[in-house]
Amino acid sequence: MAKKSREILWEVGCEGHTDAWVVAENWELATVEAAAFWDVPWAKVAARCVCKQRIPGAPRNVCCRCGRVYYGPAPMCGACRETVRTEEYLLQQARRRGYRTGKLA
């Protein structure tokens, strides 16, 4: 038997970033994981993170994004992992362009 897990699946939102899906024991750790996904210092985003979903005991091997059964690390399948990384990358590119042209304050 696998060790009993207290892990919770979180959907973490933050202004200027795509939503991050992370598995963590508590909210603080979830924001740490989310900051790692966004590749930003935790201190910069911690206060702006919002909890969009909290799913205790989420089934393993079921992708949180597309709902397919898969094998690999939680919480999403490889294809979705790639997709969200690309979404985040494109969003950051767009924001950088925005800053340069002065459209975003």
List residues binding Zn ion (CB under 5 A). Answer: 63, 65-66, 77, 80
Could you write out the DSSP letters of every residue in 46-90?
A: GGG-EEEEEEETPPTTB-TTT--B--SSTTS-HHHHHHHHHHHHH
Q: Which is nearer to Zn ion, 50 or 66 (CB)?
A: 66
CB 82, min distance to Zn ion, A: 10
Q: Which is nearer to Zn ion, 14 or 63 (CB)?
A: 63
Q: Which is nearer to Zn ion, 46 or 84 (CB)?
A: 84
The Cα 83–Cα 51 span in angstroms is 21
